Amino acid sequence: MGDIMVAAMPTDYIRPYGSTNISLSSTQPRRSAEFYAAVLDEYAVDHDNDFVQIQAPGAEDVTIFQGTEKSIGRLGALAHFGFRSRSPEHVNAAAAAVKANGGEIVEQGALVDGEPYLFARDLDGYLFEIWYEA
């Protein structure tokens, strides 16, 4: 195989700060927000009847749940979304919280020694990952 060629970036290229939010359709936005709040230690920062936005303490990213039934649990071409953990212990704690709050563990293991990961499904069927990387 040949080398991958990467085009030079133009000087006016807009560099993102990172992926900072994901918006998910949900049958019950408040219930979905409560699930992730329990699993990820997140809290609501904005809400109304069909919209809940949650955020992790000290993080810049937000997760949004919108009350629409058009595409519940379907990511289309996106296979899953993920959350990076601050410590390896949090991955096991998140797995316990997923089970305790009605989610489903799909796979759990370690990428390499000391770097655990977890794939799980939430209450709407979305596949998500929580992992720790040293």
Domain boundaries along the sequence of the chain: 21-69+78-131
For the segment 43-101, what is each residue's pLDDT rounded down to a tens digit?
A: 788 888 788 888 877 777 888 888 876 666 666 656 788 888 888 999 999 999 999 99
Decide: 52 and 32 in contact? Cβ < 8 Å. yes
The model carries a pTM of 0.76
Residues 29-48, mean pLDDT to the nearest whole number: 85
Q: Which amino acid is at 106?
A: V
DSSP string, 32-93: HHHHHHHHH--EEEEEETTEEEEE-TT-S-EEEEEE--TTTT--TT---EEEE-SSHHHHHH
Which CATH number describes the domain made up of 21-69+78-131? 3.10.180.10
